[in-house]
Amino acid sequence: MNNHFDAYPLFHITGRPGWINDPNGLVVFRGRYHVFYQYYPEDIHWGPMHWGHVVSDDLQRWEQLPIALAPGGVGDKDGCFSGSAIVWRDRLWLLYTGFEENGGGEAIRQVQCLASSSDGVHFEKHGIVIGED
């Protein structure tokens, strides 16, 4: 069947299958537009947040890149929540909220974490930069 529900949007950023919400870190790096967004690739419902990543040369056609951030590091074992991106010293830097449940309820912990990339595709986590170690 060929109707408007079957078509992939032409001018709208979307994620791969899974859950997508809040945009994060809209930035220009080495002449390309980068958009990061909250993403959970394992289900169509909210889950441990990742950062999805798309790039464009013209703000019309978007290329999906590998997931930029996935939970599992120091401070972000249960999620990589919202944040921002900057370009500094020819690197792309992501500052984001790391989340750990620690049993839920009052035991949750959120800290600010940092990651960087020299190529705009592959990111190295640097751990917690604001909050408890």
> What are the residue numbers of the active site?
22
Query: Nearest to residue 108, comparing CAs of 78, 69, 70, 73?
Result: 78
**Order of strands across the sheet that contains 32-40:** 19-29, 32-40, 50-56, 63-64
Query: Nearest to residue 28, comparing CAs of 66, 55, 10, 68?
Result: 55
Query: Nearest to residue 84, comparing CAs of 29, 27, 21, 14?
Result: 27
